[in-house]
Amino acid sequence: MPAPVAPPAPRPEPVVALSGVHRRFARVEALRGLSLTVDPGTITVLLGPNGAGKTTAIRVITGALGVHEGSVRVFGLDPDEGRDGEAVRRRCGIVSAKPALYDRLSGLDNLRYAAELYGLGWNAGTKERVMAAATRFGIQAALSDQVGGYSTGMKTRLALSRSVLHEPDLLLFDEPTSGLDPESSHAVLSMIKDMAADGTTVIMCTHLLLEAEGLAEQVVVMEGGLDIASGRPTELMRRFWPDDAVRLGAEDPGALDAVADLPGVRGVDAVPGRVGEVDVRVDDLRRVPELVVALTTRGVRLTRVSPHERSLEELYFAVRAPHIGVAASDGGLMPEAAARPDLAGPPPAPTPPTRPTEEASLR
């Protein structure tokens, strides 16, 4: 008798659940129906052009901003000031893009003040926490200096130290590596990973797609106050590009035309900026040796055969393409899109995607 199949584990209670959230400022509707779910212990990265609503979303989650419509739940509570705001904020650590610090105070006094605000008191245990946080973020040697003399990176490190003093369950970072040198950025990102590995939930905004690549368990691409796509990067990539692809290069670029007619080939895409290379979409990567043999038998001298892994950058531009009036290229990167870092005014009506057949499922 076959063993009974165990029912799937229930999904854990989300740490953050936003549903149909609208937030308006005088003339701008910064959030136009944003929905977002964040599971415990995961890293969610909010991506999107300037003005997409990322910072507003973070401020709504922390209760710094109320909403005009929709529902916001953080740890199952309403973070609005008049409701459970204080209870929510006690469990959150926040680092904004330009952290507010007291320039005239020393780093230590800034941390001490924050510890007192968190209700930790100033005792041996708190002092130990302060030193541990400052050491973790590499700012301990400068703690007695006035913060006004800190570099941008030192200020960010101090703000990061401050954000973890009360051992929050949810960390919200708005461009945490902005202004940091590569070494410091690397250190900060690996600390964020460590904290998530320890069970802390992290939500972060960044414009640096490479940075998000190694970090995001969930990406949320925002545009005009809405989430236009969200999910695990690998799942989103599979939705956009259901086929596996292999990149081929040849000494004679024209020789690669032959590949389109070979068995199992579903399409061939030029690689922007790389003459003599193409991405070949196949029904199964196990076809690749066959393709190589077929091409070499026809006298094609191959210079490159490598699986083509999609990057988060390609995904980002593919997701945004219909919103900026540039069709998603099968080759991935769209220089036209890269040259338009922001939209002036509301996005044009979406154009049908050329490849992503499941685009309709992306909001």
Ligand X SMILES: Nc1ncnc2c1ncn2[C@@H]1O[C@H](COP(=O)(O)OP(=O)(O)OP(=O)(O)O)[C@@H](O)[C@H]1O
| Contacts with ligand X, residue ranges (CB under 6 A) | 25, 28, 30, 48, 50-56
Minimum distance of ligand X from residue 133's CB (angstroms): 26
Minimum distance of ligand X from residue 49's CB (angstroms): 7
- Minimum CB distance to ligand X smaller for 65 or for 108: 65
Minimum distance of ligand X from residue 59's CB (angstroms): 8
Minimum distance of ligand X from residue 223's CB (angstroms): 9
Write the secondary structure of the chain as one string of H (helix), E (strand) and C (coil).
CCCCCCCCCCCCCCCEEEEEEEEECCCCEEEEEEEEEECCCCEEEEECCCCCCHHHHHHHHCCCCCCCEEEEEECCECCCCCCCHHHHHHCEEEECCCCCCCCCCEHHHHHHHHHHHCCCCCCHHHHHHHHHHHHHCCCHHHCCCEHHHCCHHHHHHHHHHHHHCCCCCEEEEECCCCCCCHHHHHHHHHHHHHHHHCCCEEEEECCCHHHHHCCCCEEEEEECCEEEEEECHHHHHHHHCCCEEEEEEECCHHHHHHHHHCCCEEEEEECCCCCCEEEEEECCHHHHHHHHHHHHHCCCCEEEEEECCCCHHHHHHHHHHHHCCCCCECCECCHHHHCCCCCCCCCCCCCCCCCCCCHHHCC
- Minimum CB distance to ligand X smaller for 134 or for 226: 226
- Minimum CB distance to ligand X smaller for 139 or for 212: 212
Minimum distance of ligand X from residue 81's CB (angstroms): 15
Minimum distance of ligand X from residue 98's CB (angstroms): 10
- Minimum CB distance to ligand X smaller for 184 or for 206: 206
- Minimum CB distance to ligand X smaller for 68 or for 301: 68
Alpha-carbon distance values, 287 to 9, 254, 299, 307 (Å): 37, 22, 19, 12
- Minimum CB distance to ligand X smaller for 31 or for 165: 31
Minimum distance of ligand X from residue 175's CB (angstroms): 7
- Minimum CB distance to ligand X smaller for 74 or for 130: 74
